[in-house]
Structure formats: C-alpha cells, structure tokens
C-alpha cells in the first residue's frame, strides 16, 4: 500500500511541476524516478520515452504508466498515471476559470512570454541529457542525423521514425556495426 501511495505522490509532484508539456517534464522525471527514487535506470527511462513517443498520449503520462506497472502491476500503473495528471487537471481548471478574465492584461501576456522562454530551456536540457545517453557511437550519430534531417524536411509520423530506428538498431547490431 505504501508503494502505491508513493507512486501517486511521486508522480503528482512531477505533474505539479510541469510547465510546457511532456518534454519539459523529462528532466523532472529523470531526477524523481532515476536519481531520487531509483525506480528505473536511465536506459529504462529512455526506453519508456521511446515507447511513449509512439503510443497515444502525453509522454510523461505514458512514462508514469510504465513505471507504475513495473513497480506495482496494473493498479500501480493506474495510480501513477492518475498522480501525474491530477495536478494538471486541478491547476488547469483553476487557471481556465481565472485566465479568461485576465488574459488581455499586458503583465499576464509578458509573464507567459517569459514562461515560454523557460520551457524552451527545460526542453533543451532534456534533449542534451537524452543525447548524452543515446549517442554512443558513429552509427547512432548517423542515424540521429538522418532522422533529424528527414523530420525537418518531410512530414513523416514520429511512429515511423521510432519503428525505423528500432529496426535499424537491430540490423546494425546483427551486422556488428554496433555493440550489443
């Protein structure tokens, strides 16, 4: 029972700190789940991000579900998921009720402009951390560059990229280009 409460509260603390969507949550998730609680390794968290990217829903919600299920089965998955979304539901409901009356105030507009800058930095930091743990050899760097270029110039689903990269990882390992 304690683990279930801990799952809900840990993911609620992640959810309450979320500004800017799922990607802004990545460094917070890493700190809470990997560093503070040891519920997953960096590699597992990267796998959760990858799978979460190609499944419906927000990446942080999907990650919460994966971690909760790993630790406490289906009920753990449900409680971790509820934990991560509960603060957002409460905060968004309150803000929606208030913001409608204040959205035209210059100070409010300026505050949101500043918050957007902060969110960009949080997302950039998450990308740097993911980069360091994902790009381990030339093959990964080439694959990363190819996906980046294709995603910039073509309108291809992220699911296709994830499936392609998974297949490429398997093929490159079988060919001996990458370590196992």
User: What's the confidence (pLDDT) of residue 158?
Assistant: 86
How many residues in total does the chain contain? 180
User: What's the confidence (pLDDT) of residue 149?
Assistant: 94
Tokens 């500004």 correspond to 19
The per-residue pLDDT for range 106-130, each reduced to its tens digit, is 988 898 889 889 888 888 888 888 8
State the first-to-last Cα distance of the chain, in angstroms, to the nearest integer. Answer: 38
User: What's the confidence (pLDDT) of residue 179?
Assistant: 60
CA distance 140 to 114: 35
Neighbours of 13 (CB within 10 A): 15
User: pLDDT below 70 — which residues of the chain?
Assistant: 18-23, 179-180
User: What's the confidence (pLDDT) of residue 22?
Assistant: 63
CA distance 59 to 125: 16
Element (H, E) at 87: helix 59-102
DSSP 9-51: HHHHHHHHT--SSHHHHHHHHIIIIIIIS-SS-HHHHHHHHHH
User: What's the confidence (pLDDT) of residue 103?
Assistant: 77
Q: What is the SS3 assignment for 150?
A: helix
């Amino acid at each position: 029972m304690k683990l279930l409460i801990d799952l809900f509260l840990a993911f609620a603390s992640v959810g309450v700190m979320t500004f800017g969507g799922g990607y802004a949550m990545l460094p917070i998730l890493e700190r809470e789940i990997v560093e503070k609680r040891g519920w997953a390794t960096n590699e597992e968290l990267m796998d959760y991000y990858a799978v979460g990217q190609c499944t419906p829903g927000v990446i942080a919600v999907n990650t919460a579900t994966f971690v909760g299920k790993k630790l406490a089965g289906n009920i753990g998955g449900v409680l971790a998921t509820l934990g991560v979304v509960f603060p957002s539901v409460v905060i968004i409901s309150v803000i929606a009720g208030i913001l409608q009356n204040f959205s035209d105030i210059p100070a409010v507009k300026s505050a949101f402009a500043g918050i957007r800058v902060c969110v960009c930095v949080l997302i950039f930091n998450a990308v740097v951390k993911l980069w360091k743990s994902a790009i381990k050899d030339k093959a990964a760097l080439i694959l990363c560059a190819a996906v980046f270029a294709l995603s910039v110039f073509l309108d291809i689903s992220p699911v296709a990229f994830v499936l392609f990269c998974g297949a490429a990882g398997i093929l490159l390992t079988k060919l001996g280009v990458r370590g196992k």
